[in-house]
Amino acid sequence: MNRSLLSLSLAVALCAAPAAFAQVTPTPDTSNAAPASPTDGNGGDTTRNKPAKVKQLGAVDVSAALDQSRNSLSPDTGSSQYVIDQKAIQQLALGDSTPLDQVILQAPGVVQDSFGQLHVRGDHANLQYRINGVIIPESISGFGQTLDARTIQSMNLLDGALPAQYGLRTAAVVNIDTKSGHELGNGGSVGITGGSYGTLNPNASLWGSNDRWSWFVTANYLENDVGIENPTSSRTPIHDHTNQVKGFGDVSYLINDDTRLSFMFGATNNRFEIPNNPNQQPQFGYLDQTEFNSADLDERQREQTRFGVLSLQGKLGKTDYQVSLGQRYSNVNFDPDAIGDLMFNGVASTIGRSNRADTLQADFSTPLGDSHTIRYGIYGEFERGNISNNSLVFPANPDGSQASTTPIAIYDATNLLARTWSAYLQDEWSIGDKWTVNYGVRGDRYSLFRTESQLSPRLGLVYQATDSTTIHAGYARYFTPPATEVIDDSNIARFNGTTNELPSGGNNLPLSERSNYYDLGVQQQVGSTLTLGVDAYYRDVRRLQDEGQFGPALIFSNFNYAQGRIRGVEFTANYQNGPVTAYFNAAYSRAMGKDVITGQYNFAPEELAYIADNWIHLDHDQKLASSGGVTYEFNSTTRAGMDYLFGSGLRKAAPGVPNGASMPSYFQLNANVAHDFNFDSIGVLKTRLSVINLFDRTYELRDGTGVGVGAPQFGPRRGVYLSLQKDFSF
């Protein structure tokens, strides 16, 4: 980001609150926070972590007060919120070892896909991740493989008609509050999970505080033989080993009772073997070679992500603020099997993608009287992307047949520079005891190959009809720039006359999506043990964005449909009574698109012609999805539980109709039992026995057909895992 522009923006952000509200008496806000409800009414065993009134200003109390101030920066009026806290994560089959994407799958309206991909309410990716209120731009491979559930104290999934504070990535906001040394005391934890498919997952965490300093750091290593979904139904994938290293840390210093400086950082380094599908027949010859065993292919992919954020957070008079400077770097490298890929695909490409994002974020919240809270802020992002493709291909005849068995090399590289600026202003207006209205506007400007911008109004309201009935509704105008990290600006003309000549021409520069989003929901408390909720939504879209895997590498490229229509309804239930905790989610969704207007070169001409005149299902559209679980606590040291996932199936090709059919439905049941042993020599040892896919049901997520679907992918077979965890203090 330009240094002079960055310095000016930061100075403006830091000075905005006291300058605009200089006449506000700088008296600390001593109003009591509303007591946290035992459940949020949307599922799981969840709580909203909002500390009570702070009476003593020790380091722990100051930290709690600042957490409360940070929470006040982020409204959710009119949108749908689903909260999963640390206790709810512990009740999942693998507990803290559960991958982040599998945690999010327990929320309503979330659909699973291969390689950790998630689809929320009919969207492909388009998730915004916030850690302690700070936006972390998504990595090239997504964050399902990057962040670790061990960092989470509480996680909110916010979707629907979002307030003006939220923009750019709009399918949902994953807002993570991390663990804190001030809350946990001085100590740490070490443990290991091992089991089926050569799984080995040791982990270690350290936390603590010293006067005004606080820290929390965690790291873990994972290796197994099912790194990527198996392309066959076999229990033993071929060439599917993975090694993954993840780390996260948060260090903070209390400058005074109203100000905190924090540095948050994370890193991951993942390596994958691309699994093989045996008994495939080569389509091309290589020199004098005509045979190749597809089980012997050796394709590999490496992924790295690292980020760091420096945040200044606190209060100026009655104004809460947080100002953050951050950077995220991500890269993906795909190494082909040069001979094998040439013989099976007619192209062997060594692919590299990297993306570095520098960010500035400033958020402010100022109460005006007893009825209004003004929130405002800015966000800036500067991205540098690099794309390289070093390909081997065969010369081809005009009819596409192989003209020579001697490959030729083609190199293509692109540098991308993208700039994003956003600003928002909104007012949360409390009207009496029953009505709350949040109205505002945000402006976004995105510049890459072209400059696009939009002014987006937002309106949300909550009506407390009775003590047990809450109704919310909202409207949002959305502007969603293309994800710079997955833009592929390759020179497709270079492959003309080769076995990698693309089937169509067309515009390869994606467009920003624009949409109108409507959301309506009701939540009903039944007695003190059961909470029910239902939520309906509709989205009318122009320039609908989608992504596809158009090759063997697990790297996605984006494209646009001219129009999109997405609608659905969700139902949630949460039950807690004594030792029993249970939740149930069910969702219906329909996501349609028409007329591909960018990235056409990835489509066959007959596909483009059909989609130009007909609405089709998006490849990630799934009609029905459901998740749920139940946990029984026998006593304070022993509990058992089950959780499940159900889906009616993603889309696949039908004769003459892209995405015209759906995969078979699937049901996956997981189970676990946990017990804490107390030994005289070492103290408490936490143990957990987990079974994934208890009934070993074979199901296929993808069959290799459909728009942008790279290969067949099967869900996990039954696996048995044992976890040991030892906490310690000092």
Burial of 5 (0-12, 13-18, 19+ CB in 10 A): middle
List of residues 6+ apart from 401 with CB closer than 8 A: none
Q: Which residues pair with 442 in a beta bridge?
A: 424, 456
Query: For 673-700, how does the pLDDT look when each residue is reduced to its tens digit (9 = 90+)?
Result: 999 999 988 899 999 999 999 999 999 9
**CA 653/CA 137 separation, integer angstroms:** 33
Tell whether the model's pLDDT for residue 461 goes beyond 50: yes
Tell whether the model's pLDDT for residue 29 goes beyond 70: no
Give mean pLDDT, residues 436-463. Answer: 94
**CA 75/CA 166 separation, integer angstroms:** 10
What pLDDT is recorded for position 510? 86
Instruction: Give the pair of three-digit tokens for residue 383.
Output: 């991205």
Instruction: Give the pair of three-digit tokens for residue 559.
Output: 């494209």
Q: Is the dihedral of CA 485, 489, 494, 496 positive or negative?
A: positive
Of 114-123, 223-232, 297-306, 439-448, the poorest mean pLDDT is in: 114-123
Tell whether the model's pLDDT for residue 159 goes beyond 80: yes
List of residues 6+ apart from 216 with CB closer than 8 A: 151, 178, 179, 180, 181, 184, 205, 206, 207, 249, 250
Q: Which residues pair with 230 in a beta bridge?
A: none
Question: Do residues 169 and 163 make contact, with C-beta atoms less than 8 angstroms apart?
Answer: no
How many beta carbons lie within 10 A of that of residue 586, not counting itself? 18
What is the pairing mode between strands 134-136 and 127-131? antiparallel
pTM (predicted TM-score): 0.87
What pLDDT is recorded for position 54? 32
What pLDDT is recorded for position 58? 62
Question: Do residues 708 and 546 make contact, with C-beta atoms less than 8 angstroms apart?
Answer: yes
What pLDDT is recorded for position 62? 67
**CA 232/CA 713 separation, integer angstroms:** 7
* CA distances to 344, 345, 551, 697, 710 from 500, in Å: 12, 8, 11, 38, 16
In one-letter notation, the amino acid at residue 472 is H
**CA 442/CA 435 separation, integer angstroms:** 23
Give mean pLDDT, residues 294-300. Answer: 95
Closest residue by Cα to residue 712 from 721, 720, 703? 703
What pLDDT is recorded for position 47? 37
Tell whether the model's pLDDT for residue 34 goes beyond 60: no
**CA 383/CA 601 separation, integer angstroms:** 26
**CA 200/CA 631 separation, integer angstroms:** 26
Query: For 541-553, how does the pLDDT look when each residue is reduced to its tens digit (9 = 90+)?
Result: 999 999 887 766 6
**CA 620/CA 279 separation, integer angstroms:** 28
Tell whether the model's pLDDT for residue 310 goes beyond 70: yes
Q: 487 versus 287: which is more confidently predicted?
A: 287
**CA 381/CA 209 separation, integer angstroms:** 33
Of 244-253, 342-351, 478-487, the poorest mean pLDDT is in: 478-487
Question: Do residues 580 and 491 make contact, with C-beta atoms less than 8 angstroms apart?
Answer: no
Query: For 106-144, how does the pLDDT look when each residue is reduced to its tens digit (9 = 90+)?
Result: 999 999 988 878 899 999 888 999 999 999 988 876 555
Q: 207 versus 556: which is more confidently predicted?
A: 207
| Domain locations in the chain as residue ranges | 3-729
Closest residue by Cα to residue 555 from 152, 180, 258, 115? 115
**CA 485/CA 342 separation, integer angstroms:** 27
How many beta carbons lie within 10 A of that of residue 457, not counting itself? 12
How do the residues of the chain divide into helix, strand and coil, expressed in percent and rounded to 5? 10, 55, 35
CATH number of 3-729: 2.40.170.20
Residue at token pair 């209060």: 315
Question: Do residues 47 and 154 make contact, with C-beta atoms less than 8 angstroms apart?
Answer: yes
3-class DSSP assignment, residue 94: coil
Q: Write the secondary structure of 370-419 as one string of H (helix), E (strand) and C (coil).
A: CCEEEEEEEEEEEEEEEEEEEEEECEECCCCCECCCCCEEEEEEEEEEEE
**CA 723/CA 679 separation, integer angstroms:** 17
Q: Which residues pair with 365 in a beta bridge?
A: 320, 375
Q: How close are the terminal C-alpha atoms of the chain, in Å?
A: 43
How many beta carbons lie within 10 A of that of residue 344, not counting itself? 20
Query: For 48-82, how does the pLDDT look when each residue is reduced to its tens digit (9 = 90+)?
Result: 333 333 333 466 666 667 676 666 677 667 678 88
Instruction: Give the pair of three-digit tokens for residue 436.
Output: 């709350």
DSSP per-residue string spanning 46-57: ----------S-
Query: For 379-432, how does the pLDDT look when each residue is reduced to its tens digit (9 = 90+)?
Result: 999 999 998 889 999 999 988 889 999 999 999 888 889 999 999 999 999 998
Give mean pLDDT, residues 216-231. Answer: 94
Query: For 313-364, how does the pLDDT look when each residue is reduced to its tens digit (9 = 90+)?
Result: 999 999 999 999 999 999 999 999 999 999 999 999 999 999 999 999 999 9
User: pLDDT band at residue 41, thresholds of 50, 70 and 90?
Assistant: very low
What pLDDT is recorded for position 142? 59
In one-letter notation, the amino acid at residue 525 is Q
**Widest CA span of the chain, in angstroms?**
85
**CA 70/CA 86 separation, integer angstroms:** 19
Burial of 432 (0-12, 13-18, 19+ CB in 10 A): exposed
Question: Do residues 694 and 171 make contact, with C-beta atoms less than 8 angstroms apart?
Answer: no
* CA distances to 14, 281, 599 from 336, in Å: 49, 18, 23
State the chain's mean pLDDT as an integer. Answer: 87
Please write down the long-range contacts of 12-20, taking CB distance under 8 Å and 24 or more positions apart: 12/378, 13/323, 13/360, 13/362, 13/377, 13/378, 14/312, 14/323, 14/362, 16/362, 16/364, 16/376, 17/316, 17/317, 17/319, 17/321, 17/364, 17/366, 18/316, 18/317, 18/319, 20/366
Give mean pLDDT, residues 713-721. Answer: 95
Q: Tally helices (H) and strands (E) across the chain.
A: 7, 34
What is the pairing mode between strands 624-635 and 638-647? antiparallel
User: pLDDT band at residue 5, thresholds of 50, 70 and 90?
Assistant: very low
Query: For 643-678, how does the pLDDT look when each residue is reduced to its tens digit (9 = 90+)?
Result: 999 999 999 999 989 999 999 999 999 999 999 999
What pLDDT is recorded for position 280? 92
Q: Write the secondary structure of 477-540 as one string of H (helix), E (strand) and C (coil).
A: EEEECCCHHHCCCCCHHHHCCECCCCCCCCCCCCCCEEEEEEEEEEEEEECCCEEEEEEEEEEE
User: pLDDT band at residue 43, thresholds of 50, 70 and 90?
Assistant: very low
**CA 280/CA 512 separation, integer angstroms:** 39
**CA 364/CA 709 separation, integer angstroms:** 43
Residue at token pair 């056409």: 600
Q: Which residues pair with 675 in a beta bridge?
A: 638, 687
**CA 488/CA 386 separation, integer angstroms:** 10
Query: For 585-626, how does the pLDDT look when each residue is reduced to its tens digit (9 = 90+)?
Result: 999 999 999 999 988 887 888 889 999 999 999 999 999 999
Give mean pLDDT, residues 511-522. Answer: 94
What pLDDT is recorded for position 140? 74
**CA 48/CA 124 separation, integer angstroms:** 28
Residue at token pair 């072209």: 450
